[in-house]
Every structure is written in structure tokens, then in C-alpha cells.
Structure 1
Amino acid sequence: MLIKSFEEAKMTLGLRALARRLQPSHPLYEQITRELQQAEAGEYGERYIVRQLEKLSYSMDIHILHNIRLSRPLPIQLDVVVVTPYEVIIIESKNIRGDVQLKSKPRQMIRILDTGNRSIFNHPEVQLEEYVYGLQGFFRQHNVEAHVGGVIVFPFNNARIDYENGMFPVIMSRELTNFLRQRNAQGERLDVQEIIALLLHHHTSYEPFPLCRYYDIEERAIRQGVFCPKCQLGMMHRLPLKWRCLSCYHTDSTAHYVTLQDYSMLISNHITNKQAQYFLQINNRHIVKRILATNCYSKVGVTKQSKYQILP
């Protein structure tokens, strides 16, 4: 059963907004786009694994939770958690292509592309070991007895794996069915519902916003205006009650909503009418006031410096 479905991480959404609004000439542009590509690739693999597990759950007693983040006793963020009647299994997803060597002494992951480009990363089992240790501590803290296991999963066949034996199994996603079937009838039975409720209750979202402060980027480096939701390239011009793209001529009545979300993730989740005029590129405080009244939680103050809290 799918308990906590796939959801894009807020950091990924923020990186996408930052890459869209940062000038390509900015010193951090390449770093931001690289981090965005890595985040999107990782989540693409996680989404695939969650879908495969959901199909499997129709014939097997498993419960799936995506992206569980716990702050105590250790801060850990788990890609996918599978709760079976006998065990809690952490799945560490690695969507990586090329020749992948998982070395045990020292523990390193070496990736060689077809171009010959060679990169060295932390071995995924080092991170998984920390996650298992953290989740075991979490259960002890709440007086829950549950065996915690882990597995490293490569979701696609775009990696050729050379694996030196380590602490955790390394499998492809197509092997998940057999892997879980073999482990689904061992040990003492768990109180599955208690474990699920505990994980969901203590899950916390990771929000590093605003990203301008996180990456030490000046606000003036962020591009203003409403981007076209259709062509993603053109800027939109405000017409009565709607927006029109200056490139593809697409019209949209709510294009400003994404722009306000960008502002919230990059600069601040509070905005004044004047700041909104500048960021939306609308030289009319009355139109902006109506937009903010519709797309914001609350207003603080009654002067021109009143601030609106942007809806998430």
C-alpha cells in the first residue's frame, strides 16, 4: 500500500526557480544547474522505484513511504521506506549511468562515462549505514522494537555495476520483487500501523528558503517578470484580467501565481505591494493589490509598507 506518495522535494522546486531566474553569466549559474540536474535525476529514479513498489503492493503486504525526514536523534532523510510485517527497509536510490565501481577498501563509488570521464563519489552504503543507525535510534527513542534493514537500488539499466561485497545488498529495481519476497517472512511480526503513524507524525519538510540567502546571491541578480508557462522562454505582458506571452502569444489568467512562488522560494515569503509591482513588472498598485489579496495568506499592516504572506 502506498502510504506517502512521491512528492518533489521543495529544494528541487527552488533550484528550478533559481536556474530559471539566474542570469547564465552569474558565477553560480553552472553550479545551480548542475545541482538541479542531479536532484531531478535522483527524484526521477525514486519516482520509478515508488511506482514499481506500488504495483508490487497489490500482491505483497508492504507499505511504502517516500521521502521521510526525521530530525531526532539524528537528522536523516530517507529516499524510500518500505514497512513489511517483519522489517523496516530503507531503499537508497542511485540513478547514475556509466561504469560504476563500488569499492569497499576504501569505500568509494567510482563512475566512468563512455567518454572516459572519471568521477569519484561517496559510497552509497556509507550514507545508508548512517540512515539505518539513525532510524534504529529513532525507534529506540520511541520504545519501538523493529529490525531496520537497507538496500541500494539502481533503478535503470544505464549503469554497469562492479560491486565489491559490503554491508548492504546492491540490486537493480527489477530485482526488488524477489528481494522483498525473500525478506517478507523472517523474524517477529511488527505493529505496522504504529510504525507508519510514528514516521508520518515525526516527518518534517526540509525548507532551505530563501535560496538567495542560502547561496549568498544578491537579490538584484534575480530576473524579474512573469515567464510563460507554455513556452517557458517568453515573458508575459499584463492585459485586463490575463497575461499574454510576448513570444508565443499564449494567454493565461493565473501565470502570476508561479512568479510569486519563485519570489517566496528565492527572496522572501513576505512581499509588499511595491516589491510585487517590481517583481511582476506591473506598474499599477491596484491590480497588484487584487493579485496579492487572492494569492496570499494574510496581510500585515494597513500602510503602503503592508506585507503579504505568499501562499505555498
Structure 2
Amino acid sequence: MFAGKMGINKEAKGEGVDIWMLKPCERPMKMLKLEALSRRLSASHPKQERIMNDLRKIRTGFNGERSIGKELKNLPKEYRVFHDLRLGYDGSRYFQMDFLIITRNYGIIIEVKNFAGTLYFDRTYPQLIRTKDGQEQAYLDPLIQVDVQKSRFNDWLTFHKFPSLPIETLIANANSNTIIRTTPGFTPIFKKITGKETLISKIHTLDEKYSSKQLTQRQSNRLSNTILQKNTPHNPDILDLYQIDEQDLLKSVQCPECSAFHMQYHWGKWSCSHCSYASKDAHIKTLRDFALLIKPNITNKQARLLLQIDSIDIMQRMLSALELPYSGQFKNRAYRLDGLIHE
């Protein structure tokens, strides 16, 4: 998905390159789809509460990853940083990493948590217990999670015929107010756990451990390119996941000002009958929601039904003005909406 824009062009000569965040922090597709779904369902829909709860969780996680990403900006540019990777091998064996850092000497996999309260790493029965507002909740031990990711990434390197590379793992908690404890006698695990304020110093400590180069510049470039090319972002069919019928989705254009679905198109602009807000491009977000929830292409007829516009000619001008790529001719023309998704 990103290789065309971010690939390393100097691989052939093995030249040095000035690179940092090869795959920067972007909101994941599931988060974008949940946001669109929450907008397009009525407040009284029976699935709305579950969707909003899931959306809050994924936003909390992403905000933590974005916070850690800002700290990683302090690394020198010879570190190659990838956010939210989903790699696979043997056809279907996929694994996900919050952050992967590649140097010519070693790599680091970082699992990010964004928990408030007190975190207790239970070593007797490996699990993470969070206590907040007097309530305890158990989670899968992130130390085990990240070790599984390490094993699978090593298998991925072997599968793609890369040299063996030492891989370290870290748990980074993005919440500065979190208290972290563990079972007495197991304090060495704190070498694997860090807050965002100490993350960079922890990485520099690892630099001292791995002083010899394992990859040539050419191999490092090829590895970075292959990671970008093989990344397969998680892109669920959100309606199927939540068992929601397409007919439940609200049509028409939502007002950017008051969020009401009362916008009508007259004389080249959208006007809200609820708050009188006017906009020339309020329809773009609706087309984006269609791409996220239904499919990534749309015909003139489908767009008219979605935007509640009767005129074929007006709809044609509106779609043409967006300069979207398309396939087909005349009434069978389908416009690609992919480019609107991350705007």
C-alpha cells in the first residue's frame, strides 16, 4: 500500500540513505470504518453502543501509539521506523506489530499499551492485571505477545531469505501516570518495560549491546522495501463483522457543523435546513463513508441515491470535479474512491 510512495530507491547501488519514519502513524482502517459506521447509524440502533465502546478502545490504543511515535522522532535517521505492520507468510499466517525499528545492527519490536491506573505483571500466572477505580481486569501478558511477534518476525525473515538479525522486544506504556508493579523477585522484566519518557534511553542502551553490523546497506534497503511491499493492513468488512444490514445506514449528506442529516444541494452548495450552515464540499465525507462501509467505487446512479440528488448532470459534474480515477464509459462509469479515505 505504501511502497509506491515510500520505497527506497537506492537499493541497486547500495548507497546510504537518509530515512526515518518509513511507515508513519496513520489511523487504522478499522478505526476509520468504525467512525463512519457510528455516523451512519441512528443513535437508537441496537448495535450503536457496542460500536461506540469498540471505537473508544481502538482510539485509546491509537492515541497511545501516536504518543510513542512522537517519542521515536528523537531517534537518529539511521533508524527505520514502521508503525502498525501486518505481515504474513505461508499464505495466511499474519501477525501484527505496533512498531518495528530496523537498524543494520539489530531490530526492535515495540508493543504499545495506553492504560491508566496500576498495571501488575503477574509472573505466577503470566497475565497483566489492571486496577482502576477499584476494579481489576485481566489481559493477555504483553511480554508473551511481543515474544510471539518476535518468533513470527524471525520466521518471516527466514521465509524471505534475509540474514539472521538480532531482535529485541519492548513494552512501551504511553500513559505517564501509570504505576507498574510485578511479582516480587521478577524485577528483571523491567528491562523489557518502559514509559514513553525513558523509551529513547532504553533504545540507546540496546545500541551498546549490538555494536557490530549484521546487514549491508543493500540488505537493509531491501529489507525495508520488502516490509513496505508485504505489509497487508487489516481491512475488515465492518458491516459483516457487526452483522449490520446496508439498509440500516443513513443516506444523504451530514452537516459538518451540527451533524444533522438535513443538507440539500442548491446553486452549487450544500445548505443545512437545521442550522443554515453552507458548504461546497460537504458531500466528500459522505462519499468517503461509502468507500469505507460499502465498496471503494461508485457509479453516478449510486452517488445520486447516496447524496439524494436527482440530476444526472449535476452528479456528473460533482464527481468529475473531484478528479477521481475511473473505469468504464457513460452510464457504466465507476469512480474510484480510495483516494478520499485518508484525507
Residue 207 (structure 1) aligns with: 235
Q: Amino acid of the residue matched to residue 268 of structure 1?
A: K
Matched, 1:62 2:94: no
Q: Amino acid of the residue matched to residue 84 of structure 1?
A: T
Q: Amino acid of the residue matched to residue 328 of structure 2?
A: V
- 1:1-312 alignment to 2 at 5 Å? 1-57=20-76, 61-73=78-90, 74-114=93-133, 116-141=134-159, 142-164=161-183, 165=186, 169-187=192-210, 188-191=212-215, 192-209=220-237, 211-233=238-260, 235-295=262-322, 296-300=324-328, 302-303=330-331, 307-312=334-339
Query: In the aligned structure 2, how far is the partner of 1:235 from the partner of 1:103?
Result: 53
* Partner SS for 1:75: strand
Deviations 1:251-304 (A, max 9, x none): 22222111111011112223333332222122323222322344443143644x
- Root-mean-square deviation over aligned CA pairs: 2.3
Deviation at residue 72 of structure 1 after TM alignment: 1.4
Q: Which shows bigger deviation, 77-86 or 30-39?
A: 77-86
Q: Amino acid of the residue matched to residue 272 of structure 1?
A: T
% identical aligned pairs: 26
Answer yes or no: is the 8 Å Cα contact 2:142–2:171 preserved in 1.
yes
Change (3 A) 1:217 1:257: same
Q: Which shows bigger deviation, 93-102 or 161-170?
A: 161-170
Deviation at residue 95 of structure 1 after TM alignment: 0.7
Answer yes or no: is the 8 Å Cα contact 1:57–1:63 preserved in 2.
no
Query: In the aligned structure 2, how far is the partner of 1:120 from the partner of 1:37?
Result: 19
Query: In the aligned structure 1, how far is the partner of 2:314 from the partner of 2:241?
Result: 32
Deviation at residue 147 of structure 1 after TM alignment: 0.9
Answer yes or no: is the 8 Å Cα contact 1:234–1:246 preserved in 2.
no
Change (3 A) 1:104 1:46: same
Q: Which shows bigger deviation, 239-248 or 4-13?
A: 239-248
Answer yes or no: is the 8 Å Cα contact 2:252–2:261 preserved in 1.
no
Q: Compute the TM-score of the two structures, normalised by the length of structure 1.
A: 0.89
Q: Name the structure, 1 or 2, with higher relative contact order (CA <8 Å, separation 6+).
A: 2
Answer yes or no: is the 8 Å Cα contact 1:241–1:253 preserved in 2.
yes
Query: In the aligned structure 1, how far is the partner of 2:177 from the partner of 2:255?
Result: 34
Deviation at residue 307 of structure 1 after TM alignment: 4.2
Query: In the aligned structure 2, how far is the partner of 1:118 from the partner of 1:297?
Result: 51
Change (3 A) 1:288 1:311: farther
Answer yes or no: is the 8 Å Cα contact 1:225–1:259 preserved in 2.
yes
Q: Amino acid of the residue matched to residue 283 of structure 1?
A: D
Change (3 A) 1:140 1:254: same
Deviation at residue 51 of structure 1 after TM alignment: 1.1
Q: Runs (4+) of structure 1 moved beyond 4 Å?
A: none
Answer yes or no: is the 8 Å Cα contact 1:150–1:168 preserved in 2.
no
Answer yes or no: is the 8 Å Cα contact 1:212–1:219 preserved in 2.
yes
Answer yes or no: is the 8 Å Cα contact 1:96–1:158 preserved in 2.
no
Q: Which shows bigger deviation, 272-281 or 123-132?
A: 272-281
Query: In the aligned structure 2, how far is the partner of 1:246 from the partner of 1:98?
Result: 45
Contiguous gaps of at least 5 residues in structure 2: 1-19
Deviation at residue 184 of structure 1 after TM alignment: 0.5
Query: In the aligned structure 1, how far is the partner of 2:281 from the partner of 2:201?
Result: 47
